[in-house]
Amino acid sequence: CANSCIADANLGSCTSATDLLCLCTSSAFISSTTTCIEAACTGSDLATALSVSQAICASVV
């Protein structure tokens, strides 16, 4: 449920969708993906999507 949210996210000032350090510190990216994920995902899928995204960012920030 989160894949399309990430693919269509507002990258903010980041120039690459693979620049995790930039994305994880971009309020525009975090806001757009969080809003989309919360709307698109439910239950355990929502919990998993949020948990995985937090773990990814924790590993690079």
> Which structure tokens are listed for 4?
């399309």
pLDDT tops 90 at residue 54: yes
Predicted pLDDT of residue 61: 83
Q: What is the mean pLDDT of the chain?
A: 95
pLDDT of 38 strictly over 90? yes
Mean pLDDT of 4-23: 94
Report, as an integer, the average pLDDT of 35-50: 96
Mean pLDDT of 27-47: 96
Can you give 1-61 as a three-state secondary structure string? CCHHHHHCCCCCCCCCCCCHHHHHCCHHHHHHHHHHHHHHCCHHHHHHHHHHHHHHHHHHC
